[in-house]
Structure 1
Amino acid sequence: MNVRDGVIEVGIAVLSFLVVGVLVTELLRERIWPSLLVGIPTGLIAGIVVFGVVHYVRARD
């Protein structure tokens, strides 16, 4: 694994964090007042999981 692979993995993880965080925040906007407080941790967990999966798949090859 080189630096380029690490940058790709982190980029995909950050992108998934942003997408999931915004999606959850928008879906819960009408139901929960501080929906951002739910969206950020959910996006963070999704980003960590995606990073782990991408790292595992790329390292296996």
Structure 2
Amino acid sequence: MSEITGNSTAASALRGRRLNRFRSALTGLIGAPAFRPALPQLPSTLENAPDRVDDLLLM
């Protein structure tokens, strides 16, 4: 349960922030098995980013 809470917190903390500078970290995170429970929050987080990082959804 703490994995889900931690990943949800990470996704929430990034919402509304510029994400291009976190691109390589996000790419690794998206591919990590531990992050899978938070993947449903990813589209909302990327949509609310002021910069365009939508291509991360295609990974």
Report the TM-score, using the length of structure 1 for normalisation: 0.31
Q: Rg larger in 1 or in 2?
A: 1
Larger helix share, 1 or 2: 1
Report the TM-score, using the length of structure 2 for normalisation: 0.32
